[in-house]
Every structure is written in structure tokens, then in C-alpha cells.
Chain A
Amino acid sequence: MKAKQKKAFERIREEFPILDQKINGEDLIYLDNAASTQKPKAVINAIKDYYENDHSNVHRGVHTLSVRATEAYENARVKVTEFLNSPNNHQIIFTKGTTDSINLIATSITSLINENDEILITAMEHHSNIVPWQELCKRTGAVLKIIPINENGEILIDDYKDMVSAKTKLISVVHLSNTLGTINPIEDIIKIAKSHDVITVIDGAQAAGHLPIDVQQLDCDFYLFSGHKIFGPTGIGVLYGKEEILNRIDPYQYGGEMILKVTFEKTTYNSLPHKFEAGTPNIAGAVGIGASIDFINSLDRDLCHEYEMSLHDYALNQLEQIDGIRIIGKSSHKSAIISFVIDGMHPHDIGTIINQKGIAVRTGHHCTMPLMDFYEIPGTVRASFSIYNNHSEIDKLIDAIKLAIKMLK
């Protein structure tokens, strides 16, 4: 990477005020981006400006502030529409986050699922893409089936092909694994599913901030992601759905906003997207996610990916030289996430010691307990990189890990 480009990433870092602080007397090194990314000034200011100037409740208000709040909220929907290349705005539903989006589908689709239907997920899913489907199966008598992976952390596509049958009703698969960093071949997975009329749900929580997403090209039925993993605020997420299926499934929650007409005898539901947005929505969150999309759009995404992968490769090369280290997740198609364990050392102990050096990594099962069982480990240390990290931070990470090993042996 050229010096000029590195300089550009130094300037990007300056947009994130939280990074300019000491933790335990050391410069903060934030390598927990797969859990949540930090927020640029543009996002923080957009939320602040909204509350200082435009806040009111949305829709139906005739006064100026309500009109402004409605415009801000609906403008954010337009930005998401363009971000995902959705055919139109009303296929974008605002939710609390990816978990909420999955729960919405798993609940609202209940009436379309019958006893002995099969739901497919993979062995690398986050708990949020396991438990809602288990509950759906409990309610309906459907069967949850798990597509296996190999030791590198890659889905066994041939096994998947064999598992899809006339009984298969839905597949829900993660686009980019939060634990392994694997980028799954969702284009192929969706094509195979479509050839059997299987409903496709893509968990894009990790992917949306790192990869360009085109839902029309993918042809998935649902695509989901969270604001806080794309430099936006917590408590806001997105569910994209195909219009036909969004119209077929039931509302998720009931109350204000999601109705057309209410009498004591009968209620008629509102059209999309309002059918799925009961109650006062997270307006400031939507404003924030809109600002985060503007921020991402201001970046050269290919260059960002190249930069993040240069951090990944630099870290991986040094980590692999440490005695007793085992990298968890070695797919050839990866994002900038590295999970690892060290012989005889618990991830929490390593995490606690390197936090003393100001370094934030995630330790534990990363909400993927079945995946930990597959690798026969209790948890991992996970370093996940973003555009504001740099190579000298990785040098400090490696030094801190070596210190932890020295202390704990």
C-alpha cells in the first residue's frame, strides 16, 4: 500500500474521537470491531443535530417538527434502499438490529411452516441465527437441520446440496462469520435454494460494513444487518425482504403505526413497510444509520477492504510464529477477523492481560457455542480489524500476547 494511501487511513482515524484516549495509561487499541464498530463524528453529529433541531414523533403530525422528523426517518430508509440496491423503499424495514430482524422473520413466517418441514442453518451460525429457528420448530413441528463445515471453517457445499429437498422450507445462513471471518459463498447457496423454492435468509451483520451488498443480484428473500456494526448507532437494524413474501407473512408486533383502520371488531393492517414497524420507531437510530451509510459511501470501499486485509495478513503472519498458537478459521475467502487459541491458556486470561496494555479484543464463545464445540474449545481470542486500525497497533498486540504468555506460563 502506498504511503499516500496510508496517510488517507490516518485521516480516517481522526474522524473517530473515541480512539483518542488512554486505557490503563496506554493508547487505546480497539480490535473488537466484529462486536461493534466505533462511530465517526459525522454519525455522532447527525444524531445530536437531529435531537437539537428536528425531533418529534414521525408520521401523521402536521406541525413542522413532525414533518422534519418524518423526512429524516424516511430519508434514512432511502439511503438504506440504495445501500442494498433494494428495488424500492418499502422493502426496507427498520428493526432493533440483526437479532430482531431474524426474530421478526422466524415469528411472522410461522403460518407458512408445517410439521416436518425442514429449516436449514449452518454449523457456524451466531446464536441469534439458531435460537429463533429452534423456537419456530418447537411451534410448528418443523425440523432444524445443520449444514456441516470443514476444519478450515468453510461450509460443505456438496453436503448442503444433498440436504436440500422438497421438505426444505427455508435456509438462513451467515454471510460473513463473526467468529471465523469466513465469507460464505452465498451466491451459490441462494442459487441452490432457489432451484428448490426454498426461502433464503442472509445474516449480513458482519458483511454489510465490509462488502458491497446487492440484494437484487443476490436474489435472496431476506437480507439483515445492524447499524452498530457499520459505524452507526446501536438499537437500529435493517430487514430487507422481497415484497411478495413480506406481504404473505404476518405482522411481528401489533399497535400503532402498523394499522390502516382499527375498530373494536376488526383491524386492517398497514401496507409495507409500516406493517412491520409497530409503535414509535427509533428515529434517531435511523438518522444515525443514514449518516453511517453516507460515511461509508464517502470511502473507497475496495481500498478499505484491501487495507483491512493488509492488517489481517500482517497480524496473521506474526501470530502464526508464536509457539502453541492455533488459528480458528482458515478459509481462503476471509474478512479481517482472526480467532485463535494458545495451548494451555484461557482466552479470558489473555484478554484481561492485554487489556492492561490498552488493547480491546473479544474473548469467549462469541455467541457461537456450537462452533466452539465443533473445534472442541471453550472460546477464542478474537482480533477484528477496521479502517481506523494500523500496523503499529498490531505490533503492540503481538507484544502484549507474548507478555501474556510469559506471565501465564
Chain B
Amino acid sequence: MVSKLYKNQLIELSHNPYHFGKPEDIFSSKEVLNTLCGDKITVYQNGDPLKAIELWFESVSCIICSASASILTKNIEGMNLNDGIEFMNQVEASIKDGTIRNNNFTKDLNCLDEIKNYPSRTTCATLPWTTAIDLLK
């Protein structure tokens, strides 16, 4: 059922996303287009990533992409660079192969689990993560 995909939590996150906007001390940024639909996301690193990861984002995007970006910025905050990149790679792979629930991720990531039943929307969920990986690696 599509209501499983569009859970209240996902909609709420997209309406009030965490770390949405430009940070004050932009260390680096990356803008990416979703080639499927033309959506745009820009991910920013606030401050030196060698001290700690702190991501922000701006986007013109769907609910799934915005909520996924919000989950990313919340979960990655304060991680060191190596751990952060490893974590993002794990999440991206888990979204793609539909194993989010099988991993030891925080509970808020579970709302991306249903994406596995909507293959045409996978890119919407992974776009913030792939963009952030490209930004930080």
C-alpha cells in the first residue's frame, strides 16, 4: 500500500527537514540533479570535515528525497570522516537492496524501508546520500 511509503513520519520530515538551508561556514558543497525528474539537491559541509561532519542541504525535490536528506543530516552529524563515509555507503546500499530494517541503523531510517517496493523512486531516496558521499570522499 502506498500509505506505507508515505508514512506520517516521512511527510513530517519533508515538511520540517533537519539542517535545511545554507550553513554559516560552508567548507564545501555539491549540487546534483536527479536525471529522472530534474529535481535538484545541494549538500553543504559546515566547517572542517576533518574535525566533524555537519551536513546541511537545500533542495527542490519530492517528499522522499527531502525526508531522506533530513535523515542523513541528522544521523551523520558529529561523525568523523571515515566513519561517516562508511555509514553513508551502508545506508545507500541498504536502500537499494531493501535491507534497511536488517541493519542496526537508528529507528528513523526505517521509514525509508518501503522504498524497496517502488523501484522507480529509489533514486529519490539515495540522491542525498550519494551526493554527500561525493562531497566528502
Instruction: Mark A residues whose CB is within 8 Å of B.
Output: 346-349, 352-353, 355-356, 363-365, 369, 372, 378-379, 407-408
Contacts and interface: CB of A to CB of B under 8 A. Distances in A.
A348 B37 contact: yes
A378 B39 contact: yes
Contacts of B40: 378
B36 A378 contact: no
A349 B2 CA distance: 10
B87 interface: no
From A349, A355, A364, residue with most partner B Cβ within 10 Å: A349
Given A378-B60, A378-B61, A349 B37 contact: no
A379 B40 CA distance: 11
From A346, A347, A364, residue with most partner B Cβ within 10 Å: A346
B63 interface: yes
Contacts of B63: 346, 349, 408
14 contacts: A347-B37, A348-B124, A349-B63, A352-B2, A352-B118, A353-B2, A353-B6, A356-B1, A364-B38, A372-B38, A378-B61, A407-B3, A407-B6, A408-B6
A378 B38 contact: yes
B11 interface: yes
B5 interface: yes
Contacts of A363: 37
Nearest to B38: A365
Secondary structure type dominating chain A contacts:
helix
Given A364-B37, A378-B40, 4 more contacts: A353-B2, A365-B38, A378-B39, A408-B6
Contact of B121 (A352, A369, A407): A352
A407 B63 CA distance: 12
Secondary structure type dominating chain B contacts:
mixed
Contact of B6 (A349, A355, A365, A379): A349
Interface string B10-22: 0100000000000
Interface residues of B, number: 20
Contacts of A364: 36-38
Contacts of B60: 378
Contacts of B121: 348, 352
A364 B62 CA distance: 11
B62 A356 contact: no
A352 B61 CA distance: 14
From B6, B37, B120, residue with most partner A Cβ within 10 Å: B37
Interface string B56-84: 00001111100000000000000000000
Q: Which 9 A-B pairs have the closest CB atoms?
A: A346-B62, A365-B38, A356-B2, A364-B37, A348-B62, A378-B60, A349-B63, A349-B62, A353-B2
A88 B78 CA distance: 72
A372 B11 CA distance: 25
A347 B37 CA distance: 9
Contacts of B3: 407
Contacts of A349: 6, 62-64
Nearest to A346: B62
Given A349-B64, A352-B118, A408-B63, A379 B1 contact: no
Contacts of B124: 348
Contact of B37 (A355, A379, A407): A379
A240 B58 CA distance: 47
A130 to B, nearest CB: 14
A348 B40 CA distance: 14
A347 B62 CA distance: 8
Contacts of B36: 364
A379 B35 CA distance: 12
B7 to A, nearest CB: 10
A219 B57 CA distance: 52
Contacts of A407: 2-3, 6, 11
